[in-house]
Chains A and B, each alone.
Chain A
Amino acid sequence: MDINTQIVNDLIGAKVGFVTTVPCKQLAGVIDVVEAHPDILHVPSNKEDEGMGLCAGAWMGGTRSAIIMQNTAIGVTINALATLIQYYRMPLPMLISYRGELGEPVACQVEMAVHTKALLAQLNIPTYHFHHEADVGELPRILEYTYMCNKPVAVLMDATFWKGY
């Protein structure tokens, strides 16, 4: 099974029924699978904080939600994470393409990569880093953990995990 299908199957397995996405080149495949899957309502958002609002609403409506975005979005969403998702104690799996790591061709991506883990740590957001393809095997447990603790949880997936650009 390809990695994109496996990720989406794990979301389905965790009863996630609403997914919002903001594109990244590395996420193109998983976004295609999300869009095509009949058990997921896919609502693309224009900015990641908007997407977190959508996810908050869907979850309060009784449907588990998730956001798929690039790590640059951490710079956009700190307020939404702190004053919406965390303040109201909402679960939110964040599947994040981790640009700016080994193999990155675009120098500017490194500028947010160097802040990504520090910002997540500052926000006390549980963070997992997928580097090898086999790391995806932890995703079901990470999703279970997210809904156990009602917190935003970050999964960073780097270029090695995606097998390049």
Chain B
Amino acid sequence: MIRYEMLQNILPVIRDQLVVCNIGIPSQELFALDDQPSNFYMLGTMGLASSIGLGLALVQDKKVVVIDGDGSVLTNLGTLPTIGNNPRGNYVLLIVDNGSYGSTGDQPTYAGKKTSLAEVARACGCDRVVECSAEDTRAALEDALAGDEMTVIVSKCESGNKKMPVITMDPVTIRDRFMKTVAG
């Protein structure tokens, strides 16, 4: 199961949540599948989705789901100690781990080789880390959202992307409607 299919599966679970989505094809896929004002699409700045989501979760009480990628987490690996040391029960980091840099031509990442992001997250102090198959991701996400413990989910997907158009929505529009949803 590739990321697009996994996203299709979790759509009913994330539709009413605040979602911060990773740059590139992940955001394009989510935008095409089910654009919502509660989605914050990253149009640049690879690696910072987990940080943006953490900042958001730390200052307000609504649940925050970050859809990140293995390549992006590797880009900003310093995020995991920050998350582990500043846990908040409303924060769920969903790492789509397909072992590849999907938006740039599916070059392999180290997470698809010897590096286990789940083990890295645990070593960084994240107390609840769930590694699961793409197929089991919806259940893992539902479980995390039902509880009140910060959760990192590493969803093992197959490498591959759905061809989607680039998001042309203005960034200020994306951010403004997102902030209104947060405040609402």
Q: Closest chain B residue to A60 by CB distance?
A: B179
How distant is the Cα of A82 from the Cα of B53 in the complex, in angstroms?
19
Identify the 8 closest CB pairs spanning chains A and B, nearest first: A57-B55, A83-B44, A53-B51, A46-B78, A53-B48, A57-B56, A54-B55, A58-B55
Kindly identify which residue among A44, A54, A59 contacts B51, using a CB–CB cutoff of 8 Å: A54
A87 within 8 A of B: yes
Q: How many residues of A contact B (CB 8 A)?
A: 33
Whether A54 and B175, one on each chain, are in contact in the complex, defined by CB atoms closer than 8 angstroms, is: no
A73 within 8 A of B: no
- Whole-angstrom distance from the CB of A44 to the nearest CB of chain B? 8
A24 within 8 A of B: no
Whether A87 and B43, one on each chain, are in contact in the complex, defined by CB atoms closer than 8 angstroms, is: yes
B interface, size bucket: 20 to 34
Whether A62 and B59, one on each chain, are in contact in the complex, defined by CB atoms closer than 8 angstroms, is: yes
Whether A87 and B44, one on each chain, are in contact in the complex, defined by CB atoms closer than 8 angstroms, is: yes
In this complex, the member of B54, B59, B82, B174 whose beta carbon has the largest number of chain A beta carbons within 10 angstroms is B59
Whether B56 and A60, one on each chain, are in contact in the complex, defined by CB atoms closer than 8 angstroms, is: yes
List B contacts of A61 (CB < 8 A). 55-60, 182
> Given A57-B51, A60-B178, A62-B183, list of 11 further CB < 8 A pairs?
A18-B59, A52-B48, A53-B49, A54-B52, A55-B55, A57-B52, A60-B40, A60-B56, A61-B59, A62-B179, A84-B52
| Chain A residues near B (Cβ < 8 Å) | 17-18, 41, 43-47, 49-63, 65, 79-80, 82-84, 87-90
Q: Which of B43-74 contact A (CB under 8 A)?
A: 43-45, 47-60
How distant is the Cα of A57 from the Cα of B47 in the complex, in angstroms?
14
List A contacts of B9 (CB < 8 A). none
Cβ-Cβ contact count across A and B, 8 Å cutoff: 119
Whether B56 and A47, one on each chain, are in contact in the complex, defined by CB atoms closer than 8 angstroms, is: no
| Chain B residues near A (Cβ < 8 Å) | 20, 40, 42-45, 47-60, 76, 78-79, 81-82, 86, 171-172, 174-175, 178-179, 182-183
How distant is the Cα of A65 from the Cα of B55 in the complex, in angstroms?
9
Q: List 27 A-B contacts (CB under 8 A).
A: A43-B54, A43-B82, A44-B82, A49-B48, A50-B51, A50-B79, A53-B54, A55-B55, A56-B52, A57-B52, A58-B58, A59-B55, A60-B40, A60-B175, A60-B179, A60-B182, A61-B58, A61-B182, A65-B55, A83-B43, A83-B45, A84-B45, A84-B52, A88-B175, A89-B172, A89-B175, A90-B175
Whether B54 and A54, one on each chain, are in contact in the complex, defined by CB atoms closer than 8 angstroms, is: yes
Whether B81 and A18, one on each chain, are in contact in the complex, defined by CB atoms closer than 8 angstroms, is: no
Knowing A46-B78, A60-B182, the reply to whether A79 touches B45 (Cβ < 8 A) is: yes
